[in-house]
Amino acid sequence: MLPTILFWGDNHTNDPVPGNILKLISSGFKELSSDTFKVKQLENGFATNLVAELWLDALSAATRADWACLEAAFKTRWPKEVIVPPTVEQMHAQLWVEKLVKEDIRVIVMVNGVEMTGQAQWASKILVLSALAEDPTGTSIHSVQDGMPNIMKKLVKGTFGTWAAFCMGVKAVSDNKINNAISKEK
């Protein structure tokens, strides 16, 4: 099975993550696939005459003949990126700046194949950010709630002990309630 996206190997804008292309190609191997087959599949995943294919062509015959050696050479040439995870403080800051904008309310968006309102999408994002900010007690809920548009502040009432409860409160606000609140403001 050929990958749907070819690997360039030069960090091109559309270039897949090197480790992902290796995983994608390797997932097509059967347990008893020969090294020759594996090497050919990897070669078929490289864009023609670009960095990755030229790198492969320059390898010794011995490296190209042994899948384990080739895989090690690939991982040496394109090592995993070192990702420095954000600090809890940085995640708190991100949580506080993530705002629900008035224009997103009632707008239907597609998220991971599911249609939802803009405010539901925002609430889902807030729930993820709150977990990353390690705020299980919801100490920042009030600050985030105060940052919502006035219409949502009026409709999402009460005190919430957890982020899950707050986000469910936001998601539970129906378009009808929003429409009624808007018409009362006029």
142 with 162, same domain? yes
| pTM for the full predicted model | 0.64
Domain boundary among 77, 97, 113: 77
What's the number of domains the chain is made of? 2
What residue type is assigned to position 175 of the chain?
A: D
Cα atoms in the Cβ-side hemisphere of radius 13 Å centred on 58 = 10
64 with 117, same domain? no
129 with 166, same domain? yes
pLDDT in tens, 142-158: 999 999 999 999 999 88
99 with 53, same domain? no
Report how far residue 132's alpha carbon sits from residue 7's, in angstroms, rounded to the nearest whole number. Answer: 32
32 with 105, same domain? no
70 with 92, same domain? no
171 with 127, same domain? yes
Range of the domain at 181: 88-185
67 with 94, same domain? no
**Pairing, β 114-117 against β 108-111:** antiparallel
pLDDT in tens, 93-145: 999 899 999 999 999 999 889 999 999 999 999 999 999 998 888 888 999 99
52 with 119, same domain? no
